[in-house]
Amino acid sequence: MARRDLTVERPQPKTRYRVLAHNSHVLKDWQELVRQRRQAAVDLWDHIAATPTTPVGARYLPLKGDQAHFHYEGQDLRQWQYEVDNRARVKVAVGASFVLITSVSLGHPKANE
């Protein structure tokens, strides 16, 4: 009798939102973020895939002014920003069933406290 495969797959969290990158440039930056800050990227992904409209202290917040919305496929989606750390930020736009990563930024302005 053949042995049954006993491999236990890593459980995946339940997600309600499909996560998309706006384009290949954003995807490339996202992959660099994953390379540099893997666990933070996992935490970020888990949060936006499950609860993208729930703030996380000062780390994940809705934006204001011209940054408040992102125009995508005829809709103005509410835009949020996840601050990974002082030198990395990810902006996302939240749709009805998806979250669009609109930009990934690695760096900081001189004026940043």
Partner 1 sequence: MPVAERTLTEFLQHSGRVLPEVERGEVVLRRRDGDSLVLISQSHWEALAKSFTAVAEAARDLESRCQCPPAPRTGEFALSWLSLLSEQEQRECLRELSQALVAALADGKFESLVNTLAQWRATALATWDDAQKPTGYWEGAPLDVERP
Out of 38, 53, 54, 76, the only residue in the binding site for partner 1 (CB under 8 A) is: 38
Nearer to partner 1 by Cβ, of 3 and 58: the residue is: 58
- The H or E element spanning position 82 is strand 75-85
Out of 2, 58, 96, 97, the only residue in the binding site for partner 1 (CB under 8 A) is: 58
Binding residue count for partner 1, defined by CB under 8 A: 46
What is the DSSP secondary-structure string of 20-39? EESSHHHHHHHHHHHHHSHH
Amino acid, single-letter form, for residue 103? S
Nearer to partner 1 by Cβ, of 94 and 100: the residue is: 100
Question: Buried b / exposed e across 27-63, counting CB within 10 Å, b at 16+?
Answer: eebbeebbeebeebbeebbebbbeebeeeeeebbeee
Quick check: 107 binds partner 1 (CB under 8 A)? yes
Contact 73, 50 (CB under 8 A): no
Residues numbered 8 to 37 that lie near partner 1 (CB under 8 A) are: 12-13, 15, 18-27, 30, 34
Residues that bind partner 1 (CB under 8 A): 12-13, 15, 18-27, 30, 34, 38, 41-42, 45-46, 49, 55, 58, 61-68, 79, 81, 83, 89, 91, 100-101, 103, 105, 107-109, 111-113
